[in-house]
Structure 1
Amino acid sequence: MTQTDDATGARGLTAAQVRARVAAGRTNDVPRRSSRSVGEILRANILTRFNALIGTLFVLVMIFGEWPDGLFGGIIVANSAIGVVQELRAKRTLDRLAVVGETPVRVRRSGTVQEISRRAVVLGDLIVLGTGDRIPVDGPVADSRGLEVDESLLTGEADPVHKGPGDPLRSGSFVVAGGGTFTAERVGREAYAARLVEEASRFTLSRSELMEGIDRFLKYVTWLIVPTSVLLFVSQFTAARDVSDAVVGAVAGVVTMVPEGLVLMTSIAFAVGVVRLGRRGALVNELPAIEGLARVDVLCVDKTGTLTEPGMDLDRVVVLDDALPAREALAALAAGDPDPNATMLAVRQGLDAPDPGWKVVGTAPFSSARKWSGMEFAGEGAWVLGAADVLLGPGDPFRERARELGANGLRVLALARVPAGALAEPDAPGATAGAEPAALVALRQRLRAEAPATLAYFAEQGVAVKVISGDDPASVGAIARALDLPGADHPVDARTLPSGPREMGRALEGNSVFGRVSPRQKRQMVRALQGRGHTVAMTGDGVNDVLALKDADLGVAMGSGSGATRAVAQIVLLDNSFATLPHVVGEGRRVLGNIERVANLFLTKTVYSIILAVLVGLVHVRFPFLPRHLTLISTLTIGVPAFFLALAPNLERARPGFVPRVLRFAVPAGLACGVATFAGYLLATENPRTRFAEDSSTAALSLFPLALWVLLLIARPWNWWRLGLVVAMGAVFLVVLAVPGLREFFALYPDNPHNALVALGIAVLAGLLLVAALRLDRWSLSRRRE
């Protein structure tokens, strides 16, 4: 062992030294960003361009019009309040889960190893490392026991790097083999990859197809508002010759154009999704992960830790050569490992042979690439334990015995003695050449009780499950068969897969179970599936899954997995339950499907308001509505229904093409509403004896039934509560018409039965034409696909 700091030494810092460095602020105090701060939440929900626009229009109405026409100003308060409350709720859930899911750091202080939070690390701490640990700060290696580090998240190079005493370690990398200690030399924001580590666990509003689509809609609307506002004001002033009437009319048209609730409902749907998943023990590290959940059509799962529970049990030890001390060597390997993995723990707990007390003089830690580990003992030779088909040669008679055991679902390892000095360069070609087989070690894996039902759910939902494991294909296939996974009868040895991405993609689509998959191959498999047009989710818990998790469209890590897997995954299953995944996927589909439904509503309103504004500007008549009219209609046909629809159950799998699909509905629906409303209004204005209040009421009777019909179309598939919601909104409008006080407040005067019947007739005709247009569009689209 090499000491790198005289002040700390092999015993680490004392309690007094830790207190002094905490007082001096020499800690790893990097802010945890699992969610936005309260200030950021308030700014994001209050200081928006649409709030500014609607606020300005509200002030104009208060100056030039009557206060009932300023009801739309309540939209600012409601939108901001609901958005802030929902996101604060999500923040509390995320912050609590982030603390639960944070990987502790092991440090040696005063000669004892203790677990502390990453933020509690201080300058000079002696940090203890084992396989799978993330490196939280920068510093030099103090002691190495075959320490190998993956720095791919920093450098892009996937090959592990051997680290000896004095070699630098950088935050953001992780241990893939061996163990050791290092001294914290740069902590907090001084660490090389502090920002990378912070971003790895940050709850963000990253880019996604959904958010890009909504931003595109908002950009179009923003550009249209300016010229339309000018056109409306000029036309209103020309028609009314009164500045007050012109301002109120222009405001009525512009307010309707603003899809003010679309961003709000999107934020609410995402926030509620995060809270719901949090209650099920799933930590969402990145907001777009919710969207990715809905699009997944291929799920790649690692067998160990996902289909099987953590840990194994020793089933049997089959001695192959009585002349070799197999049981003693196995006991010595288990006793000599300072950082045992699940395999060594099972051997240590299940072996009936006592520790022979052999002295370790050399080690080769387990590596996923090598698939074996070993130790050399003074006077007893070098011994290795690893995959049977790797350590036993192709012509070895014991390979068939190992295959028979593996076919029963057991994980089979081989124990062999190798020439002295072979472990000095474990990665050298032929390092295990000349191995003498001593025993077969069979381990029994514990199947997760919830796995069969979970796999059945994915099959029903059209999500293909691919089991990719580093274990023997026969063993993996036996586990998959026990879980009734389709295609488990013909497991594939990944070493026989073609290297080309196109050929590999075809092989992956045609098979379900793959064994002997290397960490690099897992990454290639994810990319090959993506190249075939699939949206791929990857689950895992070990360091050999990190690269694949990072490249997958959605990375899901088990809470009991290594710190490295949890750092790169978008979702962490803190309860380690595979059964949580259906709820995770279902929540994603609910959020995305409902946001698309809500977007149809808001964009329909934007389209018909633009149509009305353009027609009014061209014909030079007064705008058919007061702001209070459109506030009532929008609230009943869009605002209130959108709130319920955004949070409703929805299991439909998401499809690409969010923007074109919304436009294919919103444009014809908005066109029908706009033209029908203007037609009813024009027919009413032809009667010179009717006043503007009566004409605008006729326009409202044209628009409201048609807008309610659009809501009914969007609410499909119908059920009792969706139909009830539409009926309730219609009933409220009838109540407003029936109660004199409400009718007066909203300036609705349907006193002309002839005009009212004509308006309703126009609405019915426009509704029928809309249905015909939508059916024609679907037929045309299906023909193009064929």
Structure 2
Amino acid sequence: MGENTRYSVSGLTEAEVRQRVEDGRVNAYVQKASRTYAEIIRSNVLTRFNAVLGGLFLVVIILGSINDALFGMVLILNSLIGIIQEIRAKKTLDALSLISAPKAKVIREGSQIEIPYDQVVVDDLLVLHPGDQVVVDGTVVSSAGLELDESMLTGESLPVGKVSGDELFSGSHTVAGTGRYLAVKVGSEAYAQELADKARKFSLSKSELREGIDRLLKWIFWSIVPVAMLLFYSQVRAGLSIHDTFIGTVAGIVGIIPQGLVLLTSIAFAISVITLGRQRVLVQELPAVEVLARVDVLCVDKTGTLTDGTLQTCEIVELEEGLDLSSILGAICNASIHKNPTIAAIEVNYPDPHWPLTGSVPFSSERKWSYAGFGEHGHWILGAPEMLLDGKETSGKIKETHEAYAKKGYRVLMLARSESAPANSVLPDSLVPVALILIAERVRKDVAEAMKFFREQGVAIKVISGDNPSTAHSVARRAGITNGGDAYDVRFMPEDEAEVAEIMEAYDVFGRVTPYQKQKMVKALQSKGHVVAMTGDGVNDVLALKDADLGMAVGSGVAATKSVARIVLLDGKFATLPRIVAEGRRLIANIELVANLFLVKTVCVMLIDLVTSVTGMPFPFLPRHLSLVSEITIGIPAFFLALAPNIKRYKPGFVDRILHFVIPIGSIAAIFTMASFYLALNGGASLEESRTAATLTLLLSSMWVLIILARPITRLRILLVASMNILMVMVFFVPFMRNFFALDFPQFKILLITGIMTLVSIVVIEAYWRLRIRSKVSESDKGRG
């Protein structure tokens, strides 16, 4: 109890609650479910590239070349789209977070009320009924057959009886009976939150996409200053005016910045969050969607994760023939005062025969048996075999039988008859065993199908449970995770991480695992180079969830697991996992595809910058020319490609693959674009005509890159490419658009040379692509060999 507080059956008064809130003794615990609006705006506006582009935009405006400021309009639009999409994702995320928050029943001023769990204060009197969650640590003040499932804390699936004076910890929940308890530790002091706080010290989920793109952008950013200086000097040396020198330099710098890449990455993540939110999946870190596409080991808890938290009767083993076991069990279940999960599992299958009850002894966790007498229908005892067989002469063979079933993971109850009722709650001597009831945890219906999917995708499944190894192995077998082998008892696991890693590779099922051992086991798998996902719902899963590459909490779990997990399955449906994998694969494959689009232009323009700087030629583009190329062949197509379906399996090496694509193809485009510009400029064409020739070559070369990346071709992709070609034709042949973009067709001879350079560029790009594909196939064949 709290200091200087006397326990009252009427609970706290409003004044006492108010005082505790003012003192900070309330269960309010700030959990950051999503970024604030200010953070979203700041992250989309205040970027290094926006600062550079914003400065260049001002330079162009000051020089009075409004048409060349098109990239600034795109910059503003990109930032707005990014902000709007992230705010949509935030609203989805916040709404789902609110839905998943638990409630608490408290007594205040003599009345029972239901309040959000974060409004509970120290010394509150809380009420527990079956199904209720313990939301703060406390002390039991009254109990009527109160039994708690503490599997969230320990992993042990058997209920624990609680009496007055016993401690309760947040994270457990009521399975039978009723009771009241007094709040002692709230907020960050509660056991569940202590574990969550430790978990929060770890880093965010690792995203190869985010890290790879950040690395590429950093290289580009640091190249801007030296390239700008060289380019500015070369334009001065070419004898251009100050106005044209600045405009040429701006064009060269704008061209190497992949303006929409970061935006499209953010939008793709945000839309994935919204898509998964509609499927009742709460994504608490945007990059987490991508991580599951890379996972090769999935660690799952048993209780509440593979199982749904309920029990089912699997089999009745008759030890005495000729009895109406259906009626006997139905009558016993109906006579039970407290319907614990075991009674509920039996009651489903056996109807009540409506026998008059002549006497009963309720089940208790201390006795581990219950009694029901029905007069002429007999006296019946239902309980743990070891209690009913204790000291009996006939127990040998029956004991071996029940122990054999227990080793298979069943929870075994024994039904026995006696000649008389128990006296003073002491078992009578005349007990005759008549049947064994085999009970097991109910495996979630959708688990087997999901696990089959992961096996087919090459993802190893590891069951890591705090429960008995045999029980865990039985559930794993019924879930289709393992067909043979033994479960490993983690109590005998060595301390050395290398040895732990070898054991983790050798076994699929692990029992008697503590929270810290779960964490250690995840790290051991990671030390072997595995990308590890962890699912769980209990406090005992918290540290492992946060340490895994991707932590996924089941929605029915405790608040602590949901606060540290990157993904929450609000409905607890494992059928959702394959969809998350598919969303992750779509995301990572499409972002890699659009990154290729953006960075081909970056490499191409950077090489053109360097060639121009060395040769002293005028820069072959105005800023508006590169804006045109960017929007028609990159920006608009990339937006649709980033959101399109894609089931391509993930392979490591995101950055290497991009560089192997963009450097050669960007170089080819740069060579033939500069060739078109040089031949036109030295063939008698004006600077404007020569720039038109260069723009045409770069446009058509980039369009072919788009066609390559749009493969395999679908109807929608044909429509997309066709639309971009129509738009390109309109720009060149509609006078207003041609004038706006400062395009002027050169004479036929120059146009023919430009056409030849463009055609050769396309042929060489296609040849390189086909050569690269053949090389990949050859390497794959060698790998299989």
Q: What is the CA deviation profile of residues 335-383 of structure 1, one whole-angstrom value per residue up to 9, with x for unaligned ones? A: 7989x5x4465368778797966589x967xxxxxxxx95999xxxx99
CA contact (8 A) 2:490 2:511 kept: no
For residues 556 and 54 of structure 1, do their structure 2 counterparts lie closer, same or farther at Cα, with a shift above 3 Å needed? Answer: same
1:617 is matched with 613
1:242 is matched with 241
CA contact (8 A) 1:363 1:376 kept: no
What is the CA distance between 1:752 and its match in structure 2? 2.4
CA contact (8 A) 2:202 2:547 kept: no
1:401 is matched with 401
Counterpart CA distance in 2 for 1:557 and 1:472 is 22
3-state SS of 1:263 partner: helix
Q: Which amino acid aligns with 1:715?
A: A
Q: Which amino acid aligns with 1:713?
A: I
1:701 is matched with 696
Q: Which amino acid aligns with 2:487?
A: D
What is the CA distance between 1:637 and its match in structure 2? 1.0
Say yes or no: does 1:641 pair with 2:637.
Answer: yes
Q: Which amino acid aligns with 1:766?
A: S
What is the CA distance between 1:769 and its match in structure 2? 3.2
For residues 581 and 359 of structure 1, do their structure 2 counterparts lie closer, same or farther at Cα, with a shift above 3 Å needed? Answer: closer
Q: Which amino acid aligns with 2:651?
A: R
3-state SS of 2:489 partner: helix
What is the CA distance between 1:584 and its match in structure 2? 1.3
Q: Residues 364-375 of structure 1 correspond to what in structure 2 (within 5 A)?
A: none
CA contact (8 A) 1:33 1:199 kept: no
Q: Residues 526-541 of structure 1 correspond to what in structure 2 (within 5 A)?
A: 526-541=522-537
1:607 is matched with 603
2:82 is matched with 83
Q: What is the CA deviation profile of residues 188-220 of structure 1, one whole-angstrom value per residue up to 9, with x for unaligned ones? A: 689899798689899997553222222212211
Q: Which amino acid aligns with 1:679?
A: A
Counterpart CA distance in 1 for 2:5 and 2:80 is 57
In structure 1, runs of 5+ residues without a counterpart are 154-161, 365-372, 418-435
Counterpart CA distance in 2 for 1:579 and 1:455 is 9
CA contact (8 A) 2:534 2:552 kept: yes
Counterpart CA distance in 2 for 1:8 and 1:570 is 40
1:156 is matched with none
2:49 is matched with 50
3-state SS of 1:236 partner: helix
* More deviation, 64-73/22-31: 22-31
For residues 220 and 399 of structure 1, do their structure 2 counterparts lie closer, same or farther at Cα, with a shift above 3 Å needed? Answer: farther
Q: TM-score, normalised by structure 1?
A: 0.78
For residues 496 and 102 of structure 1, do their structure 2 counterparts lie closer, same or farther at Cα, with a shift above 3 Å needed? Answer: closer
CA contact (8 A) 2:105 2:114 kept: yes
Counterpart CA distance in 1 for 2:187 and 2:305 is 34
Counterpart CA distance in 2 for 1:762 and 1:495 is 70
1:713 is matched with 708
CA contact (8 A) 2:491 2:513 kept: no
- Let me know the Cα RMSD of the aligned residues: 4.9
2:489 is matched with 495
Say yes or no: does 1:102 pair with 2:89.
Answer: no
Amino-acid identity (%): 42
CA contact (8 A) 1:470 1:517 kept: yes
2:257 is matched with 258
3-state SS of 2:293 partner: helix
Q: Which amino acid aligns with 1:313?
A: Q
CA contact (8 A) 1:491 1:515 kept: no
Say yes or no: does 1:667 pair with 2:663.
Answer: yes
2:654 is matched with 658
2:733 is matched with 738
For residues 627 and 87 of structure 1, do their structure 2 counterparts lie closer, same or farther at Cα, with a shift above 3 Å needed? Answer: same
Say yes or no: does 1:724 pair with 2:719.
Answer: yes
CA contact (8 A) 1:200 1:568 kept: yes
Q: Which amino acid aligns with 1:708?
A: M
What is the CA distance between 1:518 and its match in structure 2? 3.7
CA contact (8 A) 1:523 1:548 kept: yes
For residues 113 and 403 of structure 1, do their structure 2 counterparts lie closer, same or farther at Cα, with a shift above 3 Å needed? Answer: farther
CA contact (8 A) 1:132 1:562 kept: no
* More deviation, 48-57/466-475: 466-475
CA contact (8 A) 2:320 2:435 kept: yes
Say yes or no: does 1:549 pair with 2:548.
Answer: no
Say yes or no: does 1:582 pair with 2:586.
Answer: no
Counterpart CA distance in 2 for 1:277 and 1:599 is 23
Q: Which amino acid aligns with 2:281?
A: A
What is the CA distance between 1:33 and its match in structure 2? 2.2
Q: What is the CA deviation profile of residues 309-338 of structure 1, one whole-angstrom value per residue up to 9, with x for unaligned ones? A: 44223456668799xxx999x989x97989
Q: Residues 112-511 of structure 1 correspond to what in structure 2 (within 5 A)?
A: 115-127=114-126, 174-175=171-172, 184=183, 207-302=206-301, 304-314=303-313, 342-343=341-342, 345-346=344-345, 358=361, 385=384, 397-398=397-398, 401-402=401-402, 411-414=410-413, 440-443=436-439, 446-467=442-463, 485=480, 487-488=482-483, 490-495=484-489, 499=493
Q: What is the CA deviation profile of residues 596-622 of structure 1, one whole-angstrom value per residue up to 9, with x for unaligned ones? A: 112112222221121111111111111
1:425 is matched with none
For residues 584 and 64 of structure 1, do their structure 2 counterparts lie closer, same or farther at Cα, with a shift above 3 Å needed? Answer: same
Counterpart CA distance in 2 for 1:183 and 1:257 is 64
Q: Pick from 622, 643, 668 the counterpart of residue 626 of structure 1.
A: 622
Say yes or no: does 1:753 pair with 2:748.
Answer: yes
Q: What is the CA deviation profile of residues 434-454 of structure 1, one whole-angstrom value per residue up to 9, with x for unaligned ones? A: xx9997442265454444543
Q: TM-score, normalised by structure 2?
A: 0.78
For residues 374 and 764 of structure 1, do their structure 2 counterparts lie closer, same or farther at Cα, with a shift above 3 Å needed? Answer: farther
Say yes or no: does 1:561 pair with 2:557.
Answer: yes
* More deviation, 117-126/518-527: 518-527
Counterpart CA distance in 1 for 2:704 and 2:401 is 70
For residues 486 and 755 of structure 1, do their structure 2 counterparts lie closer, same or farther at Cα, with a shift above 3 Å needed? Answer: farther
Q: Which amino acid aligns with 1:401?
A: T
Say yes or no: does 1:6 pair with 2:5.
Answer: yes
What is the CA distance between 1:566 and its match in structure 2? 3.1
For residues 480 and 17 of structure 1, do their structure 2 counterparts lie closer, same or farther at Cα, with a shift above 3 Å needed? Answer: closer
CA contact (8 A) 1:41 1:84 kept: yes
CA contact (8 A) 1:65 1:248 kept: no
3-state SS of 2:573 partner: coil
Q: Which amino acid aligns with 2:598?
A: F
For residues 279 and 220 of structure 1, do their structure 2 counterparts lie closer, same or farther at Cα, with a shift above 3 Å needed? Answer: same
Q: Which amino acid aligns with 2:687?
A: F
What is the CA distance between 1:150 and its match in structure 2? 11
3-state SS of 1:597 partner: helix
CA contact (8 A) 1:132 1:176 kept: yes
Counterpart CA distance in 1 for 2:703 and 2:736 is 24
Q: Which amino acid aligns with 2:659?
A: L
What is the CA distance between 1:384 and its match in structure 2? 8.1
CA contact (8 A) 1:8 1:125 kept: no
CA contact (8 A) 2:152 2:539 kept: no
Q: Which amino acid aligns with 1:579?
A: A
Counterpart CA distance in 2 for 1:486 and 1:194 is 32
Counterpart CA distance in 2 for 1:496 and 1:148 is 22
Counterpart CA distance in 2 for 1:525 and 1:198 is 20
CA contact (8 A) 1:302 1:467 kept: yes
Q: Count matched residues.
A: 730
CA contact (8 A) 1:387 1:414 kept: no
